[in-house]
Structure 1
Amino acid sequence: MSLRRLYHQHSTTVLFTLLAAFWGTSFVAIEVGLHYVPPLYFAGARYAVAGAVVFVYAVATSDRWLPSGRDEWLVVSIAGLFLIGAYHGLLYLGELWVSGPVAAVVISLTPILTAAFASALLPSKGLGLGEIIGLAFGLVGVVVLVAPDPTTLELGSVLGVALVFLSAVSFALGSVLTRPLESDLSLISMEAWAMLLGAGSLFVVGALRGESLAAVHVTPVAVASFLYLTFVSGVVGFLLYFELLDRTGPTEINLVGYAEPVVATLVSAAFVGHVVEANALVGFVAIFVGFGVLKRDALREFVVGDAPVATDAYPDAD
């Protein structure tokens, strides 16, 4: 093995680890920040600032940053409403009732849901036995996570998991709906527009929900949570994602979703005091098995060194 290839592999591992750390800790940072800021305004402000930063970067580095034509505007609209707005709005609302690590476990279902929607909605796909088995494992994982013991079942935790599950559904559906659309707009430019449109939708729904800036409590912890989510998990995290997507392709980058719950659990135990129960671990294993069944061919190709080239534009990000 050449030194250049060895360096490339090690640097990829480092970037992957950093991305898992940044996105895994974001679930805990959201949980902490929700004590001080209304959920939809919190998410909206985060992506308004992050979108502005990414937009400036896109203008400075891209040959073309303004969408043109029906397909490109449809892509950024779907991405903004589904991948940023609905996904993060439902996630933040869900974390009012469930911990960050539990939310991370539920969100790890997203690749399974994406494959299921692709099989059902895209002409070139079909809902085969593997997709059905994989989806079944994923749903079993969520059921185990929600209801380990009917005698101790709490409505709040069920509602929280349901909201986070719907956020995963939103992201998966949005990812599939953008695939048939043709666009030559750079990924950075699309991400910037999606963030800004998504932030706008979050502010509108937040206002309709009755959220108010008067409910914001500006404390050092709240500011630290916001800055971390905006610049580390948001701006830096997306840049790392795009670099890894180019290096490894969609199969390996999807695996970051299975490192996030581990990071979220460790950070939450250290700083918040949460301990994930055994049912959450069982649910996570079931979801991971479902992903393995769905992606068995792609994983086999990756292991033998013939992974497909990346085509997906958007991550399972927080």
Structure 2
Amino acid sequence: MTDAPPRERLLVIGAVVVAVLSWASAFLVIRAVANDFDPGALTLGRLAVAALALGAVQLVRGAWVPPTRREWLLLGVFGVSWFLIYNLALNAAEHELDPGTAALLVNVAPLIVALVAGTLLGEGFPRWLIIGAIVAFGGIALIGVATASGALSVVGVVLALVAAVTYAIAVLVQKPLLQRLPGLQVTLIGVAIGVAGSLPWSGSLITQLAVAPPAATAGLVYLGLVPTAVAFLAWAYALRRMPAGKLTTTTYLVPVIATVAAWPLLGEVPPPLALLGGLLCLAGVALTRLPTGVRTRDAAS
């Protein structure tokens, strides 16, 4: 991105800011509407709104690049992992956890990306990756102590970690898709796959929409329009123009923003041990991005 024109650099920075702020707000809104929508209904409602918005934009733009067989396979993995399983797991986790703890756990995903890249993509295991992994898993252990003390739900922690794993899988498969396919098309197909997978909860969604207060319904619509449609388009725009590893590190800000904002807005903060463990997780993930020896700066691109 350093060789890009100034205008493009500004657009990339703006896209990253939009994605980070939108995703931080999603943790707050999911928690706020948890009493009105179950995880499956919220997933379907959020994705249906996003599909309508993205579909309208696609109709206006009109450009469609036919995916190859390999790309359809990757799109299937992308849609199921990020838009279906991730949403179901995160929505369920936030029935059990405060937004800050959920965001801290989900953001071990960059570490998972680095470990998978080291194993499957032949990028190896540099010293800082090993050190960062030890620190991050120490943080997860502290969060585990918080669950043992009853301060956190074990089920919630496990679900948040499932969300982190599916988030990491989606980032790994999205990058090659964006080499040829437009970001709008990739996001739209992924969302459509998520909608199809969450259709079993259509009855629950209709029932819960009928009794949900207007604020909760507005929250569902917001989740579909901003953290899903707008944020994922912004993310795809940035991901096409910069290495996945560097871009993923910007999401370190998501749990910080979510934790700070949840205090005045929802009156919730992570238990002390969970907060310390979450900060250790973020520190560990940050350490994995430090350069080591022959490791190239854009190894994750």
Q: TM-score if structure 1 supplies the norm length?
A: 0.80
Farther-moved stretch of structure 1 (53-62 vs 89-98): 53-62
One-letter amino acid of the counterpart of residue 296, structure 1: L
One-letter amino acid of the counterpart of residue 225, structure 2: F
Deviation at 1:126, TM superposition (A): 3.0
Please give the alpha-carbon distance, in whole angstroms, between the structure 2 residues aligned to 1:149 and 1:222: 29
Structure 2 unaligned spans of 5+: none
Does 1:97 pair with 2:96? yes
Q: Is the 8 A contact 1:246 1:310 kept in 2?
A: no
Instruction: Please point out which of 279, 283, 289 is paired with 2:277.
Output: 283
Instruction: Please point out which of 205, 210, 213 is paired with 2:206.
Output: 213
Superposed CA deviations along residues 128-187 of structure 1, whole A, max 9, x for unmatched, are 55433322222221221232384x325x61110111101111222343356677973222
Please give the alpha-carbon distance, in whole angstroms, between the structure 2 residues aligned to 1:295 and 1:87: 24
Deviation at 1:29, TM superposition (A): 0.3
Kindly tell me: are residues 241 and 149 of structure 1, through their superposed partners in 2, closer, same or farther at Cα, counting changes over 3 Å?
A: closer
1:57 corresponding residue in structure 2: 57
Farther-moved stretch of structure 1 (112-121 vs 84-93): 112-121
Deviation at 1:268, TM superposition (A): 1.2
After TM superposition, the structure 1 = structure 2 runs for residues 23-38 of structure 1, keeping only pairs within 5 Å, are 23-38=23-38
Kindly tell me: are residues 190 and 258 of structure 1, through their superposed partners in 2, closer, same or farther at Cα, counting changes over 3 Å?
A: same
Superposed CA deviations along residues 202-224 of structure 1, whole A, max 9, x for unmatched, are 233x47xx956324432122112
One-letter amino acid of the counterpart of residue 153, structure 1: G
Please give the alpha-carbon distance, in whole angstroms, between the structure 1 residues aligned to 2:65 and 2:98: 38
Instruction: Please point out which of 136, 141, 157 is paired with 1:143.
Output: 141
Q: Is the 8 A contact 2:252 2:282 kept in 1?
A: yes
Secondary structure, counterpart of 1:26 in structure 2: helix
Please give the alpha-carbon distance, in whole angstroms, between the structure 2 residues aligned to 1:105 and 1:96: 16
Does 1:117 pair with 2:116? yes
Kindly tell me: are residues 202 and 136 of structure 1, through their superposed partners in 2, closer, same or farther at Cα, counting changes over 3 Å?
A: farther
Secondary structure, counterpart of 1:297 in structure 2: coil
1:316 corresponding residue in structure 2: none
Instruction: Please point out which of 265, 275, 289 is paired with 1:271.
Output: 265
Alpha-carbon RMSD across the aligned residues, in angstroms, is 3.2
Please give the alpha-carbon distance, in whole angstroms, between the structure 1 residues aligned to 2:10 and 2:273: 34
Kindly tell me: are residues 285 and 196 of structure 1, through their superposed partners in 2, closer, same or farther at Cα, counting changes over 3 Å?
A: same
Kindly tell me: are residues 100 and 118 of structure 1, through their superposed partners in 2, closer, same or farther at Cα, counting changes over 3 Å?
A: same
One-letter amino acid of the counterpart of residue 100, structure 1: P
Give me the identity figure in percent: 22
One-letter amino acid of the counterpart of residue 113, structure 1: I
After TM superposition, the structure 1 = structure 2 runs for residues 171-250 of structure 1, keeping only pairs within 5 Å, are 171-176=167-172, 184-204=180-200, 206=201, 211=204, 213-216=206-209, 217-246=211-240, 248-250=242-244
Kindly tell me: are residues 220 and 132 of structure 1, through their superposed partners in 2, closer, same or farther at Cα, counting changes over 3 Å?
A: same
Please give the alpha-carbon distance, in whole angstroms, between the structure 2 residues aligned to 1:297 and 1:118: 15
Please give the alpha-carbon distance, in whole angstroms, between the structure 2 residues aligned to 1:99 and 1:16: 25
One-letter amino acid of the counterpart of residue 150, structure 2: L
Please give the alpha-carbon distance, in whole angstroms, between the structure 1 residues aligned to 2:266 and 2:107: 21
